[in-house]
Structure 1
């Protein structure tokens, strides 16, 4: 699966006490245009699995090419991720990270158990998009689209 190039996202939510949680995810896809819905999956072994499954809401941050360090931060363990980035709470009470190419705030529509992962389907309730280039993941490396691709 590492040979399939994908975009990179950071998914965020809050636990019942309001503490922000987030993780780097590349298992993200569009589901429906009307209503606008997306999906992503989370491994059952991830410590925040139950919080994401039960919170009822989450935000998807599509990372920009200059956010490789943010990608690594939210993929790391044993660190306060939110103490090391710029973020704020949205009107929907979701942690929103500054500088992303796009952010989709979602209400959980359905969760589906599939093997060792849970697929979370969200209905997009708010969306913001910026003119930036995306961060990509391929062959266990993160990077941008090479300039010669556009020529």
Structure 2
């Protein structure tokens, strides 16, 4: 595709887009930070590695998210990659309102953000760039530290439900 390509005027039905994209299995993460002294977090399936040099990661929160503005304001965050036995953690972090951390065990990462116990990977990062992405924002984070604290299978999301690796 050339840089001078015309913009498409095709309208895609959002429900159809969600259904088709649901056929792409994704890992499940929780993005956490500390905002005004309190932990904040949100479930996120749009996480990906972006660059090895420099080390960048990316995720895309909805513009309607009530948690994302607090993470953005914090400026640094932790990506917690969930294990297949952490569906309860995902549900807690996916709900709106209330204390999402009341039943979640965590400690502080080097940047102060919550590292969730039982996660299979932790990635500490600073918000480097934020780009518009339709009804989402595209966040690029510069990685400062990362760790694999546990060897376990990942929590996956596929066709609107939790899934596990076969095997």
TM-score, length basis structure 2: 0.83
**Partner residue, 1:131:** 151
The RMSD of aligned alpha carbons is: 1.1
Paired residues in the alignment total 146
**Partner residue, 2:70:** 51
Q: Using the TM superposition, give the Cα deviation of residue 54 of structure 1 relative to its aligned residue in structure 2, in angstroms.
A: 2.3
Greater mean alpha carbon deviation, residues 43-52 or residues 134-143: 43-52
CA deviation string 1:57-103 (max 9, x = no partner):
11101111111111111112233111111011223111111110101
Contact 2:127–2:142 (8 Å) recurs in 1? yes
**Partner residue, 1:115:** 134
How do residues 17-32 of structure 1 correspond to structure 2 at under 5 angstroms? 17-32=36-51
More strand as a share of residues:
1
**Partner residue, 1:39:** 58
Distance (Å, rounded) in 2 between the aligned partners of 1:112 and 1:78 = 26
Structure number with the bigger relative contact order (C-alpha 8 A, sep ≥ 6) is 1
TM-score, length basis structure 1: 0.92
Give every structure 1 segment of 4 or more consecutive aligned residues whose post-TM-superposition deviation is greater than 4 Å: none
Q: 1:9 aligns with which of 29, 34, 39?
A: 29
Greater mean alpha carbon deviation, residues 38-47 or residues 73-82: 73-82
Q: Using the TM superposition, give the Cα deviation of residue 118 of structure 1 relative to its aligned residue in structure 2, in angstroms.
A: 1.1
Q: 1:96 aligns with which of 85, 110, 115?
A: 115
SS of residue matched to 2:90: helix
SS of residue matched to 1:124: strand
Ranges in structure 2 where 5+ consecutive residues have no aligned partner: 1-20
Q: Using the TM superposition, give the Cα deviation of residue 107 of structure 1 relative to its aligned residue in structure 2, in angstroms.
A: 1.0
SS of residue matched to 1:81: coil
Ranges in structure 1 where 5+ consecutive residues have no aligned partner: none
